[in-house]
Chain A
Amino acid sequence: MTINPSPKIIAIGTALPESVVTNADLSARFNDDKFNSFLEIAGVSERRALKPGQSAGDLAVCAANAALDAAKIDRNEVDAIIYRTQTPEFRIPATACIMQDRLGLSAKAMTFDMSQGCGSFIPELATSASLLATGVARNILAIHSDAFSQIFNPMDRELAPLHGDGATAILYQQGAENDAIAIDWFEFGVDGKQYEHIVVPEGMSRRPMRPESLIEETFENGSVRAPYQLKMNGAAVFHFVVHTIPPFIRNACAAHNTPLENYDLVLFHQANKMMISMLYGMLKIPKEKQFYFIEGTGNMSGVTLPFMLSEALKAGRVRSGSRVLLCGFGAGLSWGAVSLRWQSTPCATPPTSVLK
């Protein structure tokens, strides 16, 4: 599917918590050799975590203010707020509504939340582009914020090394022919049978919260976790990704006649460094077209892809006319990719804000 006319991105704001969790902190916490080898493979040196009393919404406000200020847009002109997260402020209401108030945005804005995990930037971009193309919205603020530090057990050996908290905010407007992201195609995939590989098992409708939901269990691999906390089977997810994503990308490029070798940059959701290296290798993507952004932040779930896009813009790796392929994958299990040519309009990418 293609979208015409395409949107333009006028600003991307990014935010990280001030508090850092280093590998030394984790090594001291877990204190064994097995764990240290896992740290190396993850490719993460440090990750950020909210302090007690802070929320993913606070991070989101930082990123959104950065984007709104850089764009110099009248806040009353923002007529759609999309909030993408798996760590909402509350179960009810949608956090997008709370953002309307905290950011001083229009009381006439359309608001909704999206929860799609690590691959969610792709459907969000498709949604934003569609809303603009149909005229439903003219100025969309799409905020992405996740604080996984609040939902996994600190003694979870698979999750604690990988994940970091972060937020981004993108301002979209309708583009004109030579002044927009030229989107070639979107492609998506889903396998709901595999949902249990990344899941918070208890606390919602399928298995409501009960006293037993809070009881921690120590598993054979040494991880500690309660049923209300995030659970991931890393081996299953890894296996799934390396078997699913390369043929998905090859087939999409073939179907749309956009050869992989024609891209200037290929961005993958930064699940862990070993996995990403393997994907690049399997797709024979040369070094100059690769981009890693996990070492200083960890896997920030659905925040990762737009954060990477901002960093790639700042580093000059994405410029006017650059052909870029972005691919996300994660909870659901779900995955998606977008092929685009970057716009000629400058996109403001202010320095990353820090939530103190």
Chain B
Amino acid sequence: MDPNLAILTQVASDILGRYDLELTPETRISTVKGWDSVALVKILLTLETQLGVEFETYDIPNIQTVGDVVKMMEKAQA
């Protein structure tokens, strides 16, 4: 599994309180139970702290899929 996807899955699991998540880059966030805008913020802030990065606020409205978050992680770490 892509390392960033693995990190995201772990963080999302902790925040959503669900350890049965099977996320792929194509997974649409709106289909993940519990993943609303509040959860998204919590996930992004946790990822920033864990990775020591800061995401671009401007990219956030474009997030539709898990893959979009992974791309943000890659961009921030570049």
By a beta-carbon cutoff of 8 Å, the part of chain A in contact with chain B is 34, 37-38, 41, 157-158, 193-194, 196-197, 220-221, 233-236, 238-240, 242-243, 274
Question: In chain B between 1 and 57, which residues have their CB closer than 8 angstroms to a CB of chain A?
Answer: 28-30, 33-34, 36-38, 40-41, 44-45, 54-55, 57
B35 closest partner in A (C-beta): A34
If over half of B's interface residues share one DSSP class (helix, strand or loop), that class is named, otherwise mixed; here it is helix
Is B60 located at the chain interface by the 8 A CB criterion? yes
Q: What are 10 residue pairs bridging A and B, where the CB atoms are less than 8 Å apart in the complex? A: A34-B33, A37-B34, A158-B37, A235-B37, A236-B57, A238-B37, A238-B41, A239-B45, A239-B57, A274-B38
B64 CB–A CB distance under 8 Å: yes
Which of chain A's residues have a CB closer than 8 A to the CB of B60? Answer: 233, 235-236, 239
Beyond A194-B58, A220-B64, A221-B37, is A239–B44 a contact (Cβ under 8 Å)?
yes
Q: How far is the CB of B36 from chain A (nearest CB, A)?
A: 5
A149 to chain B, nearest CB (A): 20
Contact between A242 and B58, CB atoms less than 8 A apart = no
* B28 A221 Cβ-Cβ under 8 A: no
Bound: A193/B61 CA distance, A? 13
Q: Are B61 and A196 in contact (CB under 8 A)?
A: yes
Residues in chain B within 8 A of chain A (CB atoms): 28-30, 33-34, 36-38, 40-41, 44-45, 54-55, 57-58, 60-61, 63-64
Contact of A235 among B34, B40, B54 (CB under 8 A): B40
Residues A193 and B58 in contact in the complex (CB < 8 Å), given A221-B37, A239-B44 = yes
A235 with B41: in contact, given A34-B36, A196-B61, A243-B54 (CB under 8 Å)?
yes
Contact A37 B30 (CB under 8 A): no
* Residues of B close to A242: CB separation below 8 A: 45
Cα–Cα distance between A240 and B57 once the two chains are bound (Å): 6
Which residue in chain A gives the minimum CB-CB distance to B44?
Answer: A239
Q: How far is the CB of B75 from chain A (nearest CB, A)?
A: 15
**Residue in chain A with minimal CB distance to B31:** A220
Point out the residue from B33, B34, B37, B44 that lies within 8 Å of A234, measured CB to CB: B37
Instruction: Kindly identify which residue among B33, B34, B57, B64 contacts A243, using a CB–CB cutoff of 8 Å.
Output: B57
Counting chain B CB atoms within 10 Å of each CB, the highest count among A37, A238, A240 belongs to A238
Nearest CB on B from A243, distance (A)? 6
Contact B61 A37 (CB under 8 A): no
Determine whether the beta carbon of A34 is less than 8 Å from that of B34.
yes
Q: Which residues of A contact B54 (CB under 8 A)?
A: 243
A41 to B34, CA, bound (A): 13
Report the Cα distance A240→B56, complex, angstroms.
9
Give, as a whole number of angstroms, the nearest-CB distance from A112 to chain B: 31
A234 to B39: give the CA distance in the assembly, Å: 11
Q: Which of chain B's residues have a CB closer than 8 A to the CB of A238?
A: 37, 41
Distance A51 CA – B60 CA, assembled complex (angstroms): 35
B44→A220 contact, CB < 8 A:
no
Which partner residue on chain B sits nearest A274 by CB separation? B38
Which residues of chain A are within 8 angstroms of B61 by Cβ–Cβ distance? 196-197, 233, 235-236
- Check A220–B30 contact: CB distance below 8 A: yes
Most A CB contacts (10 A, CB to CB) among B30, B33, B38, B57 go to B57
A243 to B55, CA, bound (A): 10
Q: What is the minimal beta-carbon distance from B46 to any residue of chain A, in angstroms?
A: 12
Tell me the nearest residue of chain A to B29, going by C-beta: A220
In the bound assembly, the distance between CA atoms of A234 and B29 in angstroms comes to 15
**A residues near B37, Cβ cutoff 8 Å:** 38, 158, 221, 233-235, 238
Q: In the assembled complex, which residues on chain B have CB atoms less than 8 Å from the CB atom of A193?
A: 58
Residue of B nearest to A237 (CB): B57
Question: In the complex, which of the residues A34, A158, A197, A274 contacts B57, with contact meaning CB atoms closer than 8 Å?
Answer: A197
